[in-house]
Amino acid sequence: MKHPFYVEIPLSFDRITGIANCSKPALERRYSDMKNMYFDEEKRKEKEKGGNNLIYRFYDLGIPKKEGDLAFGTSIIYPGKVGNEYHMTNGHFHTILDTAEIYYCQSGHGIMMMESPEGDILYKEMKSGQVIYVPGRYAHRSINISSSETLITFYVFRADAGHDYGSIKEKGFRKLVVEDGGHWTVIDNPRWKNYE
């Protein structure tokens, strides 16, 4: 059975790689795609010149962007750091701000960083088998805090919610997750811009 969009039934996501058995490939984000997103831009440039490896992949399966539909897929973040900051996704608000999202951690070890426009901060550690409910109004970014494992999460959200990446690109998140002495820790983002 095949739908008019890209979701073959049954669709499966590989347990180890997170890759789906569908005709639409996962989108890719490399060091060159994340200019100014990490605190240490010089280190990011070095990584871009030094092979420009993948940071993460995720799916847009082409589900119709309608209120009654659900968009879903996996987010696949490879282990690594830029300076002492762990590999992460760009992060976004939903364009329809008050729409939530479910993330199920399939494998790996990560942090879901969340913040509201008013500056309320939530962050949750996630391990294989755990679920994170991202409430409506909160921007969200996944961060891989493992030194060796890929972080694979399965996400579901209202298909018409839309993505607002712009405000995060301009201002960043208020908090960063960095390695300090072999452990992850959350610090204030020195580059966070408060325009209010």
Closest CA to 191 of 38, 23, 25, 22: 38
Which is closer to Ni ion, CB of 85 or CB of 101?
101
Which is closer to Ni ion, CB of 101 or CB of 115?
101
- Cα–Cα distance for residue pair 11/20, rounded to 1 Å: 7
- Cα–Cα distance for residue pair 47/94, rounded to 1 Å: 30
Structure-token match 């364009």, residue found: 95
Shortest distance in whole angstroms from residue 150 CB to Ni ion: 20
Which of the ranges 22-30, 33-41, 74-82, 100-108 carries the binding residues for Ni ion, by CB under 5 A? 100-108
CB contact at 8 A, 177 and 86:
yes
Q: Does 101 bind Ni ion (CB under 5 A)?
A: yes
Which of the ranges 94-102, 124-132, 141-149, 165-173 carries the binding residues for Ni ion, by CB under 5 A? 94-102
- In the chain the beta strands, taken as DSSP E runs, fall at 27-30, 54-58, 70-77, 81-82, 85-86, 93-94, 101-107, 109-115, 121-127, 131-134, 139-144, 151-158, 163-164, 175-180, 183-188
Which is closer to Ni ion, CB of 71 or CB of 145?
71
Which of the ranges 27-35, 48-56, 95-103, 176-184 carries the binding residues for Ni ion, by CB under 5 A? 95-103
Shortest distance in whole angstroms from residue 174 CB to Ni ion: 18
Which is closer to Ni ion, CB of 87 or CB of 158?
158
Which is closer to Ni ion, CB of 45 or CB of 163?
163
Q: Does 115 bind Ni ion (CB under 5 A)?
A: no
Residues near Ni ion, by CB under 5 A: 101
